[in-house]
Amino acid sequence: MNHAAATPEEQEKLDAMYARMGELNLIPLWTQRENLMPDVPAPAATANRWDWQELIGIAQTAGDLVPVGRGGERRAIALANPGLSGNAFIAPTLWAAIQYLGPGETAPEHRHSQNAFRFVIEGEGVWTVVNGDPVAMRRGDFLVTAGWNFHGHHNDSGKPMAWLDGLDIPFQQQMDTAFFEEGTERVTDEATPALSRGERLWCHPGLRPLAFPGAQSSSPIPCYRWEHTDAALDDQLALEDEGFAGTVSPGHAAIRFTNPTTGGDVMTTLRTEFHRLRPAASTTPVHEVGNRVLQVFEGTATVTVADQTFTVATGDVVNVPSWQAWSVATDDGVDLFSFTDAPIFEALHLYRTYQQKGI
Ligand code: GTQ
Ligand code: FE2
């Protein structure tokens, strides 16, 4: 609103009014409209890239210097968005961290309302135990730890292991929905079976155990194994070669990890996907409501977010703030893991997407 026309007396009254508003804890919309109600989303978060070799290096140092256990709970180092004022958030809704467990180390059992997943870029030897069910973590695996399930991790091998955690910590912190409970001092089940009980029950394609009818809010599949993800993407590209439908766009295979009891997302706040681009393939720039995080699993690419372009290789992480157009291009081919907060906004009918015309 324009106060230029105010007379000296009016200006005096206006100044007094604003001062009184401050004392009464009142803020007028007319000084805040573009901040509170922008024409299109205007995120404070900025696009950023984190280098995996640097992450691994710092995690190893933390592994040497910082014990893991009760209180701190996890040796996890958050990727903090430079636009979010020193908060440990990669996005206003999303947490991403590198977690590190040395040989023989255990991260004690706990549970929390936050939804979590793990994605393994490299290595093996850690078991995550979810409600007493030990789940082996290996390269390329995607593991679900939905909110309020007890979980602890133990490294049963002689080598350290690091992986990427994704959670909805910032969303739950800002919404004041967070609860946390320590588990027993039993720590974790030290059993190390190749396949968890959850996988033996739920991981036969299209075959549902009749003992567990009905929709579940989170996926009962504890781990989506790399060999299945890899084969699904390979088959999409092979079908494209044979002239059949399968890829989302030329040279771009993609899958979403889903909850077999609903066909929807693995958790209520988190959507997770895997993308494979053939050599010389690219994606069309797209705007989406909400936040996306990409991690290179293998290969190299350039990720363009609005007017910034990031060169990425194995393990590197890039985030896409809300409504900033993003696309990926690769010369030699690339495999990408990706997660978003889209389920939150779809559930609230706030989700929008807009695909730019192909270049
Ligand atoms: O592994 O349980 O990165 O509770 C943050 C919070 C990991 C975990 C994180 C957690 C965990
Ligand atoms: Fe946890």
Residue 23 CA to ligand 2 center (angstroms) comes to: 42
Tell whether the model's pLDDT for residue 173 goes beyond 90.
Answer: yes
Q: Can you give the pLDDT at residue 110? A: 96
The alpha carbon of 75 and the centre of ligand 1 are apart by a number of angstroms equal to 8
Is 40 a member of any domain? no
pLDDT tens-digit map of 225-258: 999 999 999 999 999 999 999 999 999 999 999 9
Tens of pLDDT along 195-212? 999 999 999 999 999 999
CB 356 within 8 A of CB 350: no
Relative to the CA of 165, which ligand 1 atom is closest?
A: 3
What is residue 63's three-state secondary structure?
helix
Mean per-residue pLDDT for 53-61? 98
Ligand 2 mean position to 233 CA, how many Å?
30
Which CATH number do you get for residue 286?
A: 2.60.120.10
CA 55 to chain centre: 17
Is residue 107 within 8 A of residue 154, CB to CB? The reply is: yes
Determine the pLDDT at residue 72: 82
Is the pLDDT at 2 greater than 70? The verdict is no
- Alpha carbons within 13 angstroms on the beta-carbon side of residue 14 total 13
Q: Please identify, by atom number, the ligand 1 atom nearest to the C-alpha of residue 151.
A: 2
| Residue 4 belongs to some domain of the structure | no
Q: How far is CA 212 from the centre of its chain?
A: 28
User: What pLDDT digit, counting tens, does each position of 134-148 carry?
Assistant: 999 999 999 999 999
pLDDT digits 0-9 by tens, 27-53 = 999 999 999 999 999 999 999 999 999
74 C-alpha vs ligand 1 centroid, how far in Å? 6
Whether the CB-CB separation of 332 and 299 falls below 8 Å is answered with: yes
The model's pLDDT over 274-317, given as tens digits with 9 standing for 90+, comes to 999 999 999 999 999 999 999 999 999 999 999 999 999 999 99
The confidence score (pLDDT) of residue 187 equals 57
Q: Please state the atom number of ligand 1 nearest to the C-alpha of residue 99.
A: 3
pLDDT band at 70 (very low <50, low <70, confident <90, very high): confident
Tokens 């946390």, located at residue: 180
Average pLDDT over residues 151-155: 95
CA-nearest residue, atom 1 of ligand 1: 74
**pLDDT of 186 over the 90 cut:** no
pLDDT score of 359 more than 50: no
Instruction: Quote the pLDDT of residue 358.
Output: 52
Residue 115 has pLDDT above 70, yes or no: yes
What is the arithmetic mean of pLDDT over 81-106?
97
In a domain, 39, yes or no: no
Q: Which two tokens stand for residue 172?
A: 């739950």
76 C-alpha to ligand 1 centroid (Å): 7
The pLDDT confidence band at residue 102, using thresholds 50, 70 and 90, is very high
pLDDT at 185 over 80: no
In a domain, 8, yes or no: no
Please give all residues whose beta carbon lies within 6 A of any atom in ligand 1, as ranges: 73-74, 76, 97, 99, 112, 116, 151, 165, 167
Any idea of the CA torsion for 339, 297, 301, 294, to the nearest 10 degrees?
10
Residue-level pLDDT at 164: 98
Q: Of all residues in the chain, what percent are helix, strand and coil, respectively (each to 5)? A: 20, 30, 50
Domain that holds residue 246: 48-355
Alpha-carbon distance 10 to 224, whole Å?
A: 67
Let me know if residue 136 belongs to a domain.
Answer: yes
Query: Per the structure, how many domains does the chain have?
Result: 1
pLDDT digits (tens, 9 = 90+) for 4-27: 789 999 999 999 999 999 999 999
Q: What angle do CA 223, 161, 83 make, to 5 degrees?
A: 85
Residue 21 lies in a domain: no
pLDDT for the residue numbered 1: 59
